[in-house]
Amino acid sequence: MDTGNGQQRAILQRIAHRVMIARGLAPDFAPEALAQLAAIVGPAPAAAGPSSRDLRDLLWCSIDNDDSMDLDQLSVAQELPGGGGKLLVAIADVDALVGKGSAVDDHARTNTTSVYTAAEIFPMLPEKLSTDLTSLADSQDRQAVVVEIVVGADGSIAGSDVYRAAVRNHAKLAYDSLAAWLEGNGPVPAALAAVPGLDANLRTQDRVAQKLREIRHEHGALDLQSLETRPVFEADEIRDLKPEERNRAKDLIEDLMVAANGVTARFLAAKNLPSLRRVVRTPKRWDRIVEVAAQLGVTLPGQPDPKALAEFLSKRRAADPLRFPDLSLTVIKLLGAGEYVVELPGQDAPGHFGLAVKDYTHATAPNRRFPDLITQRLLKAALAGSPPPYAGAELAQLATHCTQQEDAANKVERQVAKSAAAMLLGDKVGQEFDGIVTGASEKGTWVRVFSPPVEGRLIHGFEGADVGHQVRVRLVHTDVERGFIDFDLAAATGR
């Protein structure tokens, strides 16, 4: 296949559309949804009633990827006496413009998530909404659902509340530049410097978020590291794959979102309403996790123990950072996928083993995930004292559907990522690369090369190769349509 002449992005887009349809996802919006969209001319009006507050003057900011426009949440903090702090997370009121059962909602309900492929984003909501009218956009007044979290000096949650409010994003910040400033490795971002007092506020957010993280890790939250990449295009030609690195700003947002999602779940339970919980069950394959640890000279308890597993992972990250992403991937697969389940009033749903939290829902990304939009509607019903907008049977069906569609979306993203990697390596057949064996079984032997960070199958010379072995491989074949990358063994470089 000719993948040059400025057509590489177009080829990947075609592959993405094909795989979307094959996985039961809709790549395009129906005419009815586009007609509804055309009738929406502005953002949601201010919420009426005494339950809504005007918080536009608080120092709200967004923290996301540099190019993200579908901004779901803002955050702000307040110092409290004794070393604690109050965190506020504002979540975009998507439901105000996307009514339940509308044509736009039907599309969101079909896909249940935005799909982020290497060449094209397939948004759950039309971009007129998700990147503008329902986005907490820079310097715009917007309606939001606010989750308030009071954190004690020890990192425990001492109080919480949920309410509706008008908010305004005073600074659109990006992960990498903000992290560099927080870590003392870079200058203050221009958008941050332009807002008096925001620097001190972000230091407070960071300090309180780290306390939340510390207490979660004390309870056994797992510190895993997956190897994800973003394609780098020049004039629609793929030039590189850039690894996604964790940093202080990403940790800050993760900690705030975990806390806000927990408060949301408990708030709905206290209001005697059902909720759509996000769970990772106690792993059924704990015995295999024990075997993996034993191969590395560590003894884990015979029964699932998140604290022991967290300690093991922390030590392995420090001892062998090169192989830690592959160990993380192994553990993630053995933990099992996350899923959505319904918790009805009076019931007790499973918790989230990986996060070491009992009460957890998805509420903080309603522009990008349908479960979060469902949760938002339940929250607004609770605040209004109205009956829940979803009956138990409908919620149960949606829980199963959202789990299935999330899995389908992940498979689409992985397939297009593999095709992008094969495309990047297409003119490098015959070249040699250093890598590490990431999988070895009857189904095949797999190698991740270090630069560019891609994975392929070892089709010759795999005898005796095992997970963790460092090897030098020769690229022998790529197939963009199927996302195949094939290597031969050039030399074993380490055990």
Query: What is the 3-class SS of the chain, one letter each residue?
Result: CCCCCCCHHHHHHHHHHHHHHHCCCCCCCCHHHHHHHHCCCCCCCCCCCCCEEECCCCCCEEEECCCCCCCCEEEEEEECHHHCEEEEEEEECHHHCCCCCCHHHHHHHHHCECEECCCCEECCCCHHHHHHHCCCCECCEEEEEEEEEEECCCCCEEEEEEEEEEEEECCEEEHHHHHHHHCCCCCCCHHHHCCCCHHHHHHHHHHHHHHHHHHHHHCCCCCCCCCCEEEEEECCEEEEEEECCCCHHHHHHHHHHHHHHHHHHHHHHHCCCCEEEEEECCCCCHHHHHHHHHHCCCCCCCCCCHHHHHHHHHHHHHHCCCCHHHHHHHHHHHHCCCEEEEECCCCCCCCECCCCECCCECCCCCCCEHHHHHHHHHHHHHHHCCCCCCCHHHHHHHHHHHHHHHHHHHHHHHHHHHHHHHHHCCCCCCCEEEEEEEEEECCEEEEEECCCCEEEEEEECCCCCCCCCEEEEEEEEEECCCCEEEEEEEEEEEC
149 pLDDT tier (thresholds 50, 70, 90): very high
290 and 165 part of one domain: no
State pLDDT tens for residues 277-312: 998 888 878 888 898 889 889 899 988 888 888 888
**Residue 273 belongs to some domain of the structure:** yes
**Residue 99 belongs to some domain of the structure:** yes
- Domain C-terminal end among 307, 335, 363: 335
**Residue 465 belongs to some domain of the structure:** yes
Q: Name the residue with higher pLDDT: 55 or 243.
A: 55
Residue 149 has φ and ψ, to the nearest 5°, of -130, 120
**Residue 1 belongs to some domain of the structure:** no
Q: Could you tell me if residue 137 is left (phi over 0), alpha (psi between -120 and 50 degrees) or otherwise beta?
A: beta
State pLDDT tens for residues 370-416: 999 999 999 999 999 999 999 889 999 999 999 999 999 999 999 99
222 and 357 part of one domain: yes
From the list 159, 50, 143, the residue with the least C-alpha distance to 96 is: 143
Is the model's pLDDT at 432 over the cut of 60? yes
475, 487 Cβ separation under 8 angstroms: yes
352 and 408 part of one domain: yes
Is the model's pLDDT at 217 over the cut of 80? no
Question: For residue 441, with 0-12 CB atoms within 10 Å meaning exposed, 13-18 middle and 19 or more buried, which class applies?
Answer: exposed
168, 190 Cβ separation under 8 angstroms: no
290 and 394 part of one domain: no
Average pLDDT (82-98) is 96
107 and 160 part of one domain: yes
326 and 265 part of one domain: no
305 and 216 part of one domain: no
89 and 112 part of one domain: yes
State how far the Cα of 100 lies from the Cα of 109, in Å rounded to an integer. 10
> What is residue 196's predicted lDDT score, i.e. its pLDDT?
97
10, 419 Cβ separation under 8 angstroms: no
State how far the Cα of 180 lies from the Cα of 354, in Å rounded to an integer. 27
> What is residue 6's predicted lDDT score, i.e. its pLDDT?
65
> What is residue 133's predicted lDDT score, i.e. its pLDDT?
97
| Residue 150 in tokens | 């009071």
200 and 300 part of one domain: no
Is the model's pLDDT at 257 over the cut of 80? yes
> What is residue 49's predicted lDDT score, i.e. its pLDDT?
66
From the list 92, 41, 89, the residue with the least C-alpha distance to 68 is: 92
- Domain C-terminal end among 377, 402, 422: 422
State pLDDT tens for residues 180-205: 999 999 999 999 999 999 999 999 99
Residues whose CB falls within 8 Å of the CB of residue 186, separated by 6 or more in sequence, listed in order: 177, 180
State how far the Cα of 263 lies from the Cα of 269, in Å rounded to an integer. 10
CATH of the domain at 465: 2.40.50.140
276 and 290 part of one domain: no
Q: Name the residue with higher pLDDT: 352 or 37.
A: 37
458 and 413 part of one domain: no
> What is residue 4's predicted lDDT score, i.e. its pLDDT?
54
**Residue 2 belongs to some domain of the structure:** no
Q: Sign of dihedral through CA atoms 48, 52, 54, 58?
A: negative
- Provide the number of structural domains found in the chain: 3
495 pLDDT tier (thresholds 50, 70, 90): low
- 4-8, 27-31, 91-95, 263-267: least confidently modelled range: 4-8
> What is residue 50's predicted lDDT score, i.e. its pLDDT?
66
**Residue 82 belongs to some domain of the structure:** yes
Average pLDDT (334-339) is 83
177 pLDDT tier (thresholds 50, 70, 90): very high
pTM of the predicted model as reported, rounded to 2 decimal places: 0.90
Q: Name the residue with higher pLDDT: 352 or 221.
A: 352
**Residue 3 belongs to some domain of the structure:** no
Q: How many CB atoms lie within 10 A of CB 34?
A: 15
> What is residue 371's predicted lDDT score, i.e. its pLDDT?
97
State pLDDT tens for residues 4-18: 556 999 999 999 999
- Domain C-terminal end among 316, 335, 354: 335
How confident is the prediction for the chain on average, in pLDDT? 90
Q: What percent of the chain has pLDDT over 90?
A: 65
Question: What is the extent of the structural domain holding 291?
Answer: 286-335
**Residue 412 belongs to some domain of the structure:** yes
202 and 253 part of one domain: yes
State pLDDT tens for residues 47-80: 766 668 999 999 999 999 988 999 999 999 999 9
> What is residue 470's predicted lDDT score, i.e. its pLDDT?
83
Please write down the HEC assignment for all residues of 417-452: HHHHHHHHCCCCCCCEEEEEEEEEECCEEEEEECCC
